[in-house]
Amino acid sequence: MGDFEKLLRCEASVLERFVRYRIGNRHDADDVLQEIRIAAFKGYDSLKDVSLFKPWILGIARHKINDYFRAKAKSLEIPIDNLNESVLTYGAQGVTTVSVVRETLSLLGDRDKQILYLYYFKELPQAEIAKRLSLPLGTVKSRLHNAKQRFKEKYPYKPKGEIKMKQLPEIMPKYKITKVDEPPFEVRWEELMGWFIVPRLGEKISFGIYDQPGGKRGELCELEVIGKAKVHGIEGVEITAKEHEPSEANRIDNDAEAKRRFIAQLTETHCRILAESHINNGVKQFYTFLDADEFLPNWGFGENNCGVEVQLKQKGTIRMDGDTIVSEKKDFLLDIVGRYRVGINGKEYDTVCVVDFCQYEDRVISQQFLDKNGKTVLWRRFNRDDWAFSRYKKKWTEILPDNERMTVNGETFVHWYDCITDYIL
């Protein structure tokens, strides 16, 4: 079986990403990977064309992952007849129930729960429901309508309807950041890191990038969630992004407008990008989480690209005192560093400051001020003095000598630009 072992080694990294992206629990993922290898070994003789080894073993992986989630579903007492992904969602940390939906259903009466389950989860037509419940079709229609209404009344996330984007100013509004001597609050932060939009149906946002000093607006981005989507069997939403006057790093074909599409996923624990696509030189290019070298450095966050955690509380891994930051020496650091009052655009916000330490980009840190709604009030970027030196041929203390500086683990970082969204307008 030397050929099998060679083929398995060639596809090992893709197979691991395929499994670990769905099963966040490392121990469980390792068990499933072992089951896949054993099943592939036993069935290798049935593979007629070795050039199809990759899709063949990923097919085995998909079946084993489904078996894993079905076993989890049983333990969660979820009905598994005709189980589909509307009942379970693949979370960054493994299987999770759609808890908000289930909690809302638990508030309803038995008749409402029954008819909603048959219609949405079992996906039965109303005529079939009428037959199963021995009810007139008209009664089923009436019950279903009333159950939907009662569910909407109790569901915590109300439909937002059409959201009109507000016009962002050409010049950054003046702002003032004041440290508050109170414990930082915990916050649920559901925004897609670096893009400020919540990957949920109905969401729409615009944000501007303002160079410092001077605060002149450069890039203007408009994003909108346009529908549901799946990537390699993982469910998310599709987001369109238009970047007007994009920065050099974000340009596509040197156009004055860069257009991208993302597939992103929000779970109970994490928020992450599943795929990105754009047109370059007339060719539409796609990158997914399975494309390690092309995808992970640009769009991946967190260990094993699990995404960014959404439930934030202060951990103490990063400490900020004035213009000095001290952090632990490890990758993927993101932590609340304190509570601050941010005055901007004639309003004041009670916020926590979240520092991202080189997770967004190597030799870059950011300060993100979130209010109690988990919305970004202000985002600030700092470059290490030698960031992109080969491109700019100067250090940032020379390029921006008058800009604010931070000392991070003994090294100098220079304030480059800020971002605000139409949320604060």
Q: Given this model, what pLDDT does residue 216 score?
A: 92
Amino acid at 396: W
CATH assignment of 2-90, among 1.10.1740.10, 3.30.530.20, 3.40.47.10, 3.40.50.720 = 1.10.1740.10
Q: Given this model, what pLDDT does residue 126 score?
A: 86
Q: Given this model, what pLDDT does residue 397 score?
A: 95
CATH number of 98-154: 1.10.10.10
Q: Given this model, what pLDDT does residue 361 score?
A: 62
Q: pLDDT per residue over 255-287, tens digit each?
A: 567 788 999 999 888 899 999 998 877 788 898
- CA dist., res. 415 & res. 404, Å (int): 5
Q: Given this model, what pLDDT does residue 360 score?
A: 53
- CA dist., res. 84 & res. 233, Å (int): 11
Burial of 80: CB neighbours in 10 Å, binned 0-12, 13-18, 19+: middle
What does pTM read for this prediction?
0.68
Q: Given this model, what pLDDT does residue 157 score?
A: 55
Q: Given this model, what pLDDT does residue 308 score?
A: 87
Low-confidence ranges of the chain (pLDDT < 70): 1, 24, 72-103, 121-123, 155-166, 246-256, 292-293, 303-304, 329-332, 358-362
